[in-house]
Amino acid sequence: MAPDFAFASSLTQARLDNGLRVVLQPDRSRPLVSVNIWYHVGSKNERPGRTGFAHLFEHMLFQGSQNVGTNDHFAHIQQVGGVANGSTSFDRTNYYETLPSHCLELGLWLESDRMGFLLPALDEAKLQNQKDVVMNERRQRVDNQPYGRAFETLHELLYPDRHPYSWPVIGYMEDIEATELAEVHEFFRTHYRPSNAVLTLVGDFDPAEAMTQVKRYFGDIPDGRAEEAADGGPVGAPPPAVVTDTSPTRAVRSELPDDVNLPRLYMGFRGPSLSAPDFPAGDLYAMAAAGGKSSPLYRDLVLEREIAQDIYVGMLPLELESTVLLAMTLRPGIEPAEAEEMLLEKLAAWRAAPPASEELERALNKTSVAYLHEIESFESRADLLSHFAMYHDEPALIDSELERYARVRPEEVLEFAGSYLDPETAVTLWVLPREAA
Amino acid sequence: MVHLRLLTDSGGQHAPENLPGLPSFTSALMDEGTTKRTGPDLAAEIERLGGYLGTGAGWDAAVIEAEVLAKDFATGLELVAEVAREASFPEPEVNRVRRQLLAEIVRRRADPSSVASEHFEGSLYGSAVYGRPLIGTEESLEAMNRASAVEFFSHHVGPAGATLVAVGDIQSDRLATAAEAVFSGWTGVATDETPRGAPLDLAPQKRLRVEIVDRPGAAQTAIRVGHRGIERGHPRWVQASVLNCLLGGKFTSRLNLNLRETHGFTYGVRSGFGKRLGRAPFVISTALANEHVGAALDEIFRELERLREEVANDAEVADTRDYMIGSFPYSVETLRGLAGRLSDLAIYGLPDDYFARYPEVLAAVSGADLLETARELLAPDRALVVCVGPDRELRPQLEDRYGANVSVVAPGA
């Protein structure tokens, strides 16, 4: 199957003198434009005891800058009928807005004002307000959510202490609470520099005109290294080295009592980086194993044996190394030990023989359709271009990504399972109803 | 790609009084086996192509949905038609799906947000159809069997009242020919047997009620505030949409700026007039720090009263309208989004040019319209407040404010 799209030929790329990387992909099919910025900073740039910083910082970027009043960022965008948001992960933070195409300059102005002129507008009251908001976000998404603490617990167990993936992106409550304004300023100066960012535009614009506008708004923002070095501040180096130990983990088991009614099993492994050659094999493994109702794990454990209510296998794509995650919610009355045994049998089978070619074909086709969805809207296409620019140093890879997947042979999937999915290195975490734990 | 959606008039509103959830149950079973293929074979057939086939029931319609690459369009359409016409309800699948839905009910009971929504609607509508969960109850699921699903299917799923929505890389004449081929000869279900739902006839709500569903030790309280609202066909629907957007339908809404950006009580708050054929709930939803529940409710009621007392200034009204007009294109940017809008035309009987005229209709809404709409459609003095959280922390705050209107209730009671 050769999905029918090509963006590489329409790309314009530039690197401004201050180091900002710019990617433009004109598409006149809709009167819209998406402005998308990635900063190469995530929770992995934090330190133990100071977690949640990158994400809290993302909130602060919506609190106004020198020329944009508190709360006016969204107001400016919404009053022209635009939509905007941002998100933080382990490796990067993104910000984006989609606007009617004649409002491109508004988007560029807002993004450049907060890249260049954020600090004068950041005060104690705004920080306290957003600390409260984020602590409520943590309660809503983690602490008061069934199974909400499972993922962070799994990562704590999977990665060694001080490894940058060993703490959660949203951070721990006491760390969020302890954040100080001075640290926010330092974090900004260290990470929110043009040379640490990718700006992507997708939509209805003339590339030459758009590039001129980009230069007008972003070109004068200093990268900051020189003057900071001069006044003795941080020089933009990454934070002190953290453990990135990749020695094999040992098998770990744990139980987490929670306010849930059905036990859920989480099993995690340390997998390859998202840019590693064997990453696609892992992704296809996950899709072949449990993607869709006709996948072998779903069919066997959910439909036939009725052990599980649902089953998930997936790769969390990360820059240093990815997390391979299996999760399975049990049916009422099923014994956890029995269910775990069955899942381990399945894993063993996948480590013993390559997937049948029709299983791999199904996985590839499903992956292709999912990818077509990702390039469908301007917003997610722009995000994908930023992704390739930042992690692979080549946005044009948006066109050939599926070929990486199509080349994967069954033996490579087997090799992946052999290398990474060793039960001797698995982290097994059971989330159990409180009374049973 | 092509997105296909067959809507049938077999949604939750047609649930029999003694079997809430039967429309969902029937719908869930339709792709679990046909006279030609087993459920796993159906799934394998579509997933082999990278596609998706699924069924589900909302209140106003049930849907059979498929998504395939354009080259596989014919297969997608054939499977949709097969599920609609020839679902066979195999006995073992009936029992398996029942067990799966029962487990889903058990799972949801641990989720504070689901508990809050379900309790809110149950308390608002009582024994009327919207008062019982779309998915059904443990009792009703235990009582359903193959015969009940087959009966519901034969009375509600048929060409009368059905609409096929297709969006994507396909020409209309080819679509028409293909649809003719797979749906010709499909019979059953006269329209007058299953009239689309009328507004529910219910006794009016009389007073403010505050109900606590106790969750000892919960880190946060899930909140619903609202009352019975309006049907989609209500003459003030568009004004109500603008009013709601200004109140709690966008990031810069009054409620979100107040509760989140000014007070830091919550991660977010939203409001909405439910979109249904009957009188759907008007509801404000949020999750609050336990110690701020009382103070946050004060702010929520203050905002509701303010809408009924003061005309919003022109700039705020214009910003809200412009946001709704400007952001409309994103909602039709994807195949799925566009299919959803087209489904609205079919389900709610809107004219074909409805969305073309939508911007100008929105543009005509004034501050005075919103004040009138708020006075007519918002009733804070008769609202229902549901709080799912630790009673010990909540009761003092709530009794202080609402006295005898406060009660502690068991979930679902």
Q: Show the domains of chain B with their CATH numbers.
A: 2-192 (3.30.830.10), 209-409 (3.30.830.10)
Sign, CA dihedral A82-B247-B220-A325, equals negative
State residue B187's pLDDT score.
87
Extract the tokens encoding A85.
């948001």
The Cα B205–Cα A375 span in angstroms is 48
CB atoms under 10 Å from CB of B181, counted, come to 12
**Which of B263, B318, B329 faces A32 most closely, judged by CB atoms?**
B329
For residue A19, give both structure tokens: 């180091």
Q: Measure CA of the first residue to CA of the last residue in chain A; give whole Å.
A: 49
pLDDT of residue B413: 55
Q: Would you call B52 and A369 a contact, using CB atoms and an 8 Å cutoff? A: yes
Contact B75, A303 (CB under 8 A): no
Cβ of A129 within 8 Å of Cβ of B326? The answer is no
* Contact status, residue A25 vs residue A10, Cβ threshold 8 Å: yes
Contact call for B103 and A309, based on CB within 8 A: yes
Is the Cβ pair B264, A128 closer than 8 Å?
yes
Please report, in tens digits, the pLDDT of each residue of chain B (413 residues total): 999 999 999 999 999 999 999 999 999 999 999 999 999 999 999 999 999 999 999 999 999 999 999 999 999 999 999 999 999 999 999 999 999 999 999 999 999 999 999 999 999 999 899 999 999 999 999 999 999 999 999 999 999 889 999 999 999 999 999 999 999 999 877 555 545 555 566 777 889 999 999 999 999 999 999 999 999 999 999 999 999 999 999 999 999 999 999 999 999 999 999 999 999 999 999 999 999 999 999 999 999 999 999 999 999 999 999 999 999 988 898 999 999 999 999 999 999 999 999 999 999 999 999 999 999 999 999 999 999 999 999 999 999 999 999 999 987 55
Q: Helix or strand or coil: residue A104?
A: helix
Q: Which residue of A has its CA nearest to B325?
A: A81
CB contact (8 A) between residue A143 and residue B251: no
For B219, which of A143, A260, A291 is closest by C-beta distance?
A143
Residue in B closest to A304 by C-alpha: B96
B267 → closest Cβ in A31, A131, A136: A136
Which residue in A22, A384, A12 sits closest to A206, CA to CA? A12
Cα distances (angstroms) measured from residue B359 to each of A32, A50, A81, B356, B364: 17, 48, 12, 7, 9
Those of residues 340-369 in A touching chain B at CB distance below 8 A are 358, 361-362, 364-369
User: What are the chain A neighbours of B43 within 8 Å (beta carbons)?
Assistant: 292-294
Say if the Cβ atoms of A365 and B103 lie within 8 Å.
no
Six-digit token string for A76 = 């400016």
Q: Domains (ranges, CATH) in chain A? A: 8-230 (3.30.830.10), 252-433 (3.30.830.10)
How many A×B Cβ pairs under 8 Å? 171
Q: For chain A, which ranges sit under pLDDT 70?
A: 1-3, 225-249, 436-437
**Hey, which residues 62-101 in chain A have their CB within 8 Å of chain B?**
70-71, 74-75, 78-83, 98, 100
Q: B103–A378: do the CB atoms touch at under 8 Å?
A: no
- CA diameter of chain B: 67
Chain A residues 189-218 with CB within 8 Å of chain B: none
**For residues B231 and B199, what is the distance between their CA atoms, to the nearest angstrom?**
6
Q: Chain B: nearest CA to A374, how far in angstroms?
A: 10
Q: Which strands form A12-15's sheet, in the order they lie side by side?
A: A12-15, A21-26, A197-203, A32-39, A93-100, A83-88
Question: In the numeric block, which tokens belong to residue A356?
Answer: 């049948």
What type of residue sits at position A3?
P
A141: nearest CA partner in chain B:
B267
CA closest to B2 among chain A residues:
A369
pLDDT of residue A240: 47
Q: Does B327 contact A362 at a Cβ distance shorter than 8 Å? A: no
CA distance A3 to A365: 10
- Phi and psi at residue B79, in whole multiples of 5°? -70, -40
CA–CA dist A44, A22 (Å, integer):
24
Show residues of chain A in contact with B48, CB under 8 Å. 294, 358, 361-362, 365
pLDDT of residue A90: 98
Count other C-beta atoms under 10 Å from residue B145's C-beta. 14
Amino acid present at B109: R
Q: Are B247 and B241 in contact (CB under 8 A)?
A: no
- Alpha-carbon gap: B71 to the closest alpha carbon of chain A (Å): 10
pLDDT of A387: 98
User: Is A425 at the interface with chain B, CB within 8 A?
Assistant: no
Q: Using the beta-carbon criterion (under 8 Å), do B43 and A309 form an inter-chain contact?
A: no
- C-alpha closest to that of A36 among A430, A284, A382: A382
Contacts of B255 in chain A (CB under 8 A): none
What whole-number distance in Å separates Cα of residue B8 and Cα of residue B163?
7
Could A81 and B325 be called an inter-chain contact, meaning their C-beta atoms sit closer than 8 Å? Answer: yes
Of all residues in chain A, the one with the smallest CA distance to B93 is A303
Residue of chain B nearest A360, judged by CA positions:
B48
Put simply, the chain A residues between 11 and 70 with a CB less than 8 A from any chain B CB are 30-32, 70
Pair B148, B29: CB distance under 8 Å? no
pLDDT of A235: 37
Binding-face residues of A in 139-158 toward B, CB within 8 A: 139-141, 143-146
Alpha-carbon gap, residue B242 to B328, rounded angstroms: 13
Give the one of B219, B257, B264 whose C-beta lies nearest to A144's C-beta: B219
Statement: the pTM of the whole predicted model exceeds 0.95: no
